[in-house]
Structure 1
Amino acid sequence: MIDHLDHLVLTAVDAEATVDFYTRVMGMQLETFGAGRMAFRYGNQKINLHIRGQEFEPKAHVPVPGALDLCFIASIPLEQVVARLNEARWPIIEGPILRTGATGPIRSVYVRDPDLNLIEISEMV
């Protein structure tokens, strides 16, 4: 019945810090749409941005900043991901480490975004 994920919604406290992380550090493209809404586009997916207290309806029952644990497959080798994170002065909290992804083994590093969501960046191995 389900083919793929189209988008997910991220609830954040600070729009500027969140935009900085997902565009400068993660390399996603900022997209604006509708009545001032923002999203981060990557590949064929996007992350819609809600700001706590200003969420768009309908929304999750209890939208909470910092509650997500997301894994992204990188479009570049993990060594380049690590170099980019170091250049951005964004701390890696774990890795590189081997894990199991949706389609097989992956090698990952972990960071936290400005709301402390856990962000795993991986390459297929």
Structure 2
Amino acid sequence: MTTPRLTALDHLVLTVTDIDTTVDFYTDALGMRIEVFHPADGSRRTALIFGHQKINLHPAAAPFDPKAAQPGPGTADLCFLTETPLTDWQAHLAARGIPIEEGPVRRTGANGPILSLYIRDPDGNLIEIATPII
């Protein structure tokens, strides 16, 4: 019997201090869009959509079940790929007063070399914005 294989990442969950603040940051600074949805349990949930993926947001004060063993704000390190030149991102982030912690720097992504900028979201999660190096 062969080992089953995964094919893609559908979504991930960020536990956040304030959903509205997080939505404002990710929509304005990173161009994601908000989606409000109602799962089978009838609760109201919020997600951020980009490409073919989404980030579900859980409030730190009352994260939804099931959840990580120790959910908490500021514990993520995420890398997002872009086709937009990093110089454009630098200008965009500067116009919004978002400091760049590091970069542009060369890194290795899932599919090869990338050039990256690092910023932080409102909870302190490390956000990497990267372009593939061809």
TM-score (norm 1): 0.96
| Structural RMSD (CA) | 0.9
Aligned amino acid, residue 37 of structure 2:
F
Q: How many Å apart are 1:75 and its aligned residue?
A: 3.3
Provide the residue aligned with 1:42 in structure 2. 50
In structure 2, the gaps of 5 or more residues are none
Task: Give CA-to-partner distance per residue, 1:44-89, whole Å, 9 cap, x none.
Answer: 0000000112211111111011110110001312111111111111
Return structure 1 stretches of 4+ with deviation > 2 angstroms: none
Give the C-alpha shift of residue 27 in structure 1. Answer: 0.6
Report how many aligned residue pairs link the two structures. Answer: 125
Q: CA separation in 2, counterparts of 1:113 and 1:63?
A: 17
Q: Which runs of 5 or more structure 1 residues have no equivalent in the other structure?
A: none
The Cα shift of 1:3 comes to 0.7
Larger Rg: 2
> Is 1:28 aligned with 2:32?
yes
Please identify, of 2-11 and 15-24, the stretch whose mean Cα deviation from structure 2 is larger: 15-24
Aligned counterpart in structure 1 of residue 22 of structure 2, from 18, 22, 32: 18
Q: Distance in 1 between matches of 2:122 and 2:52?
A: 24
